[in-house]
Chains A and B, each alone.
Chain A
Amino acid sequence: MKVLVPVKRVIDYNVKARVKADQTGVDLANVKMSMNPFCEIAVEEAVRLKEKGAASEIVAVSVGPQQAQETLRTALAMGADRAILVQTDQDLEPLAIAKVLKAVIAEENPELVLMGKQAIDGDNNATGQMLAALLDWPQAAFASEVAIEGGKAKVTREVDGGLQTLSVDLPAVVTADLRLNEPRYASLPNIMKAKKKPLDVKELGSLGVDTAPRLKVVKVTEPPKRTAGVKVETAADLVSNLKTAGVL
């Protein structure tokens, strides 16, 4: 079974995003960038499926700038077999990314697409579901457990108030939630090996996909700031303060 894993290069998880003074966006100049944490979980799951013998080949795909090659190298170091970069400097919306991935899937014919549920920059939580709809594939979003058996994926998903298990026919799209696994750190020998693994670069234009933006960003602003309040000395002080504030 071939597994396709889309990955995204985003601001590092531990860096606080700062809004640009001219309100055009978030300042990403000289900011540490990394693989989106949910994408890492998806790569890890694909590698585990390969280690269990359920997957035969893992193809990592990214749609983004030239620097996204670094993100793909990270996926290769974690255990992906080869990588494809669809190169563009445009900041694409989820619908456009889903269309680009659909075009890549038409060439690659994977049986499973495993991807993160959400990127921590746009926070849309939409691309995987959109891709499944465009392909008319079944989906299992927010997975916390994935098992492949007899041409189906049995997926336990995080739902409101608990867990749900679905069985979806392959090919399918599965999106990874936090508890699916804990991603490994790539070892130094694997990082070295990853440098020799194939990484194809395609120009976005060569795919013939409509990626025109549907949304115009009017402005990006800072949220209202909260200020630190007071320190209280004892639990009893705390309770009387809360009574005064009217929340008890």
Chain B
Amino acid sequence: MAVLVVADHDNSTLKDNTHKTVTAALAISGDVDVLVAGSSTAAIAAEAAKIAGVRKVLTADSAELGQGLAEAFQDLVVCLMGNYDAVLTPATTQGKNFSPRVAAKLDVAQISDVIEVVDANTFVRPIYAGNALETVQSSDAKKVLTVRPTAFKAAAEGGSAKVESVSAPAAPAKSHFVDQKIVKSARPDLGAAKIVVSGGRAMGSAEEFQKVIEPLADKLGAAVGASRAAVDAGYAPNDYQVGQTGKVVAPELYIAIGISGAIQHLAGMKDSKIIVAINKDGDAPIFQVADFGLVADYKAAVPELMSALTAAGK
């Protein structure tokens, strides 16, 4: 059986989520192709061709694919699925946007947010905000999966797959791109960062959030995250949100500052390797999952942490 992986990229660079999804795909079949759909895909396709284990890279170019229009991705992938038994897409907002449309058009279930491939028909996925893991077996002829990238190791480089272009679908008639505001940041991507520093409602204001969380993140070369409460209160933008309704992260080090540890937040970060919690309430639930807890007011603790890091040569 052949498996198609839809690459994650931003029209300039290939994202590591693609490599992780290839690992999931290789657990299903040895015949794995990668689709790079977007605008100006040549350089990205060349990157994808280097992923070890990839048989072939397909590219499709159009303005609408570059804009990520779900209808365009649906038409393209459904058309290619004549040649494939399964399609795997990283569970990013873009993957979640179009993949269910592909499943519906193929009249099959979508298996969302897969964290383990048991066999070619059986998959494990979190439900109830990660408070339960569901093992499901699919009886559909074709499988449509979104894959939680943090659950898989990135496939290595070292491949030399051939690149082939396929024709892009017609522009969607009823859906039009107006504009896009992508925040340019020198910090690593939240989903892929080795260290994440997150702030919660205790920050009290957007100014305080920026003053406290961001310098610490920059000192550590970390990405910035936030709890839903901090996002709801307007202290941090929504794409910082870590949790059930935001991003799921699993960095080497997760530092939660002024975050109480609501169920919904824990769902987004409890697979981190080391969790640090700084909170003045010693009974906060965050301490139940933290490897290292510091019961202190962040106002004093964060500057101390900054100096201790400087003293440690950071």
Tell me which residues across on chain A come within 8 A of B274, comparing CB atoms: 242, 245, 247
Whether, in the assembled complex, A154 has its beta carbon less than 8 Å from a beta carbon of chain B, the answer is: yes
Of B71, B130, B189, most A-chain CB atoms within 10 Å: B71
In the docked arrangement, what's the CA distance between A236 and B307, Å? 8
Looking at chain B's contact residues, is the secondary structure mostly helix, strand, loop, or mixed?
mixed
Interface stretch among A49-57, A135-143, A194-202?
A135-143
A134–B292 contact, CB under 8 A?
Answer: no
Tell me which residues across on chain B come within 8 A of A140, comparing CB atoms: 175
A91 CB to nearest chain B CB (Å): 12
Tell me which residues across on chain B come within 8 A of A242, comparing CB atoms: 253, 274, 276, 292
Tell me which residues across on chain B come within 8 A of A38, comparing CB atoms: 245
In the docked arrangement, what's the CA distance between A98 and B127, Å? 19
For A223, give its contact among B126, B173, B177, B181 (CB under 8 Å): B126
What number of B residues sit within 8 Å (CB to CB) of A? 97
B71–A138 contact, CB under 8 A?
Answer: yes
Tell me which residues across on chain B come within 8 A of A169, comparing CB atoms: 173-175
For B127, give its contact among A123, A160, A231, A241 (CB under 8 Å): A123
For B290, give its contact among A11, A93, A144, A228 (CB under 8 Å): A228
B174 CB to nearest chain A CB (Å): 4
B128–A160 contact, CB under 8 A?
Answer: no
B182–A138 contact, CB under 8 A?
Answer: no
Tell me which residues across on chain B come within 8 A of A139, comparing CB atoms: 70-71, 97, 101, 175
Within 8 A of B (CB), among A116-139: 118, 120-134, 137-139
Whether, in the assembled complex, B167 has its beta carbon less than 8 Å from a beta carbon of chain A, the answer is: no
Chain A contact patch, size range = 35 or more
In the docked arrangement, what's the CA distance between A133 and B175, Å? 13
Of B173, B179, B238, most A-chain CB atoms within 10 Å: B238
Whether, in the assembled complex, B228 has its beta carbon less than 8 Å from a beta carbon of chain A, the answer is: yes
In the docked arrangement, what's the CA distance between A132 and B71, Å? 9
- Would A167 and B129 be within 8 Å (CB), given that A126-B112, A130-B101, A239-B312 are in contact? no
In the docked arrangement, what's the CA distance between A160 and B274, Å? 25
A131 CB to nearest chain B CB (Å): 8
In the docked arrangement, what's the CA distance between A233 and B308, Å? 13
Q: Which residue of A lies closest to B290 (CB)?
A: A229
Tell me which residues across on chain A come within 8 A of B195, comparing CB atoms: 247
Interface stretch among A77-85, A105-113, A209-217?
A209-217
Of A13, A17, A229, most B-chain CB atoms within 10 Å: A229
Q: Which residue of B lies closest to A20 (CB)?
A: B132
Interface stretch among B136-144, B158-166, B205-213?
B136-144
B103–A126 contact, CB under 8 A?
Answer: yes
B252–A129 contact, CB under 8 A?
Answer: no
B127–A122 contact, CB under 8 A?
Answer: yes
Tell me which residues across on chain A come within 8 A of B105, comparing CB atoms: 133
A129–B263 contact, CB under 8 A?
Answer: no
B137–A126 contact, CB under 8 A?
Answer: no
Tell me which residues across on chain A come within 8 A of B238, comparing CB atoms: 144, 158, 177-179
B291–A98 contact, CB under 8 A?
Answer: no
Tell me which residues across on chain A come within 8 A of B175, comparing CB atoms: 138-140, 166-169
In the docked arrangement, what's the CA distance between A198 and B301, Å? 57
Tell me which residues across on chain A come within 8 A of B264, comparing CB atoms: 13
In the docked arrangement, what's the CA distance between A122 and B113, Å? 11
B172–A138 contact, CB under 8 A?
Answer: yes
